[in-house]
Chains A and B, each alone.
Chain A
Amino acid sequence: MNPLDRYEPLVDDVDAFRAACDRPLPSVVRTNRIKASPARVGDAFDEEGVAYDPVGWHDGLFRLTDGNPGGNWPHLHGWTHGQEEVSVLPTLALDPQPGERVWDACAAPGSKTTQIADAMADRGTVVANDNNLGRLSALRHNAERLGVTNTIVTNQDARNFSTKPLAFDEFDRALVDAPCSCEGTCRKNPDVLDEWTLDHVHAVAGIQKGILTRAVQATRPGGTVVYSTCTFAPEENEAVLDHALATEKCEIVPFDLPLETVPGVTEWDGETYDERVRRAHRVYPHHNDTGGFFCAKLRVGGTEEEIDGSDGDADGSDGDADGSDGDAGETGVAR
């Protein structure tokens, strides 16, 4: 079966949803502000005759109409990084600040890691973890190409992540861009639909719960955890948040994203979820002509009253950070 069938009851316009999923995605690059401004990247593209369109909701993104994110001078200089549009969203939600301690739990191949470092002006400490050593080499390559100097790379199972190799034992913020079923990337890689199985959904949901749990535990009270996937499956999205709300001291907080989204769902396949999962964002391909995505923002430490006195910026997502790429999900932990 085509797994997209099962999500038709969730979308407002089934025909538009299916039509969008069938269209290929444009090639997009994100400006790496550690090395260059969007204006300078645009000037360099103009000089070189690289055709591009701007992305209305993010001035650091360029849609390259001829397709190839590499093969141009800005890429050689590490001024740009190929990254799907929706993949910049979790770092916008995370809103990391210069000088903070940030954990990227499922980091390879590093698009979001490097976007986080960029948003921190390459100051503070990013701990980029992935369980897959081979994919970590891609992360290291990307980080060096982009000139990132504030990142430590670790190779652990995120579910049991140990802070022992670090100089500190809790983070200000954590990103769980979880391994997932990836139907949201079908415009880039249609094979994900053929390879999809319900068994995998259930197996990976268990892993996702384990990673999100560890991320909440490893983040200081009042700190921020962002959970994101590129799947439409509620089992891997709202159900994972519901589990975190039930088992850990944390709260899902409202936040804004700069494109059209719909709230998380509270009922699916006979299950009901905590009403607060509606504060998460679902991104469908037909709403913004992007890939599919899911993103939620959590404040560690329960309700606002319970953590009164901590920094309290957990729901102030804004988003002038710059993006990371888009293959959320195939990293993280062993399956």
Chain B
Amino acid sequence: MSDPDRDEDRSDADRDGHEPTNDGQRFDRLPATPADREVAGRASREEVLDWWDERFGIGRDVLAGYSFWEKGAGKVWVFNGEAADPSRIEAIGMAFLRTRQEHWKPTTRAVQRFGGHATRNVVELDAERASRFAAGEDQDLPEWDGDWGYLIAAHRIAGGTAPIGVGLYLYDELRSVVPKGSRADLPVVDR
């Protein structure tokens, strides 16, 4: 483990005269708003809340109680407890959003955890398509008339709808971006 004191020095812009930078080894809380931003390129809390609301209709109230943290280049974590700020630990809550790229990308686990609150950009797959999606297959889906880009793929199960993971919709095709380690060959279940 490195010396935590070293990082306090490194993040202190006034002391060394350099702009604060993203420290890939440490969790830093996202600034509240773009105006509060000290580290170039870092997403703000407001932008994150707005993004889930605008992209998926997941209201700001759903995520209002959580804190957001960046470690590594653009990987944002969601946390529901008390944490020191900044924090040198192995993990905090769960990784849930990839920023610092043109199209932000939610993680599969975030979509599984919070996607049930989504009201748009959710594509509900039938039983056969759901199995193919979980297995990581891309599939033609010309009937989708919603947005392109990252969608929440869901299916019917046990009396309700449940999100399976993240799909990328481009040119009439739904690509499964379920990570390799999370893919599964599951039965087609007619419900």
Contact = CB atoms under 8 A, between A and B. Distances in A.
B90 A136 contact: yes
A183 interface: no
A123 interface: yes
A56 interface: no
B189 interface: yes
**Interface range on chain A (Cβ under 8 Å from partner):** 35 or more
A165 interface: yes
A34 B185 CA distance: 24
A126 B89 CA distance: 13
B94 A124 contact: no
A326 to B, nearest CB: 22
Interface stretch (B44-52, B140-148, B154-162, B167-175): B154-162
Nearest to A77: B162
Contact of B83 (A73, A141, A166): A166
B157 A73 contact: yes
A78 B110 CA distance: 12
A35 B90 contact: no
B112 A77 contact: yes
Given A71-B186, A144-B94, A150 B80 contact: yes
Interface string B71-95: 0000000111111110111111111
Nearest to A123: B80
Which interface residue of A101, A126, A133, A167 has the most chain B CB atoms within 10 A?
A167
B15 interface: no
Contacts of A47: 157-158, 189, 191
A71 B185 CA distance: 7
A166 to B, nearest CB: 6
**Interface range on chain B (Cβ under 8 Å from partner):** 35 or more
B13 interface: no
B60 interface: no
B187 interface: yes
Contact of B84 (A49, A136, A167): A167
Contact of A125 (B82, B85, B107, B187): B82
Contact of B90 (A40, A43, A126, A154): A154
Contacts of A65: none
A303 interface: no
A10 interface: no
Contact of A168 (B82, B107, B109): B82
A148 interface: yes
A34 B109 CA distance: 13
A34 B114 CA distance: 11
Interface string A95-116: 0000001000000000000000
Contact of A44 (B78, B92, B157): B157
Contacts of A72: 186
A101 B82 contact: yes
A35 B162 CA distance: 10
B91 A44 contact: no
Interface string A122-164: 1111100000010010001101110111111111000000001
Given A43-B158, A153-B89, A147 B112 contact: yes
10 contacts: A141-B181, A143-B94, A147-B112, A149-B113, A151-B91, A152-B81, A153-B92, A165-B4, A166-B84, A167-B85
| Chain A to chain B: the 4 pairs with minimum beta-carbon distance, closest first | A125-B81, A147-B113, A153-B91, A43-B158
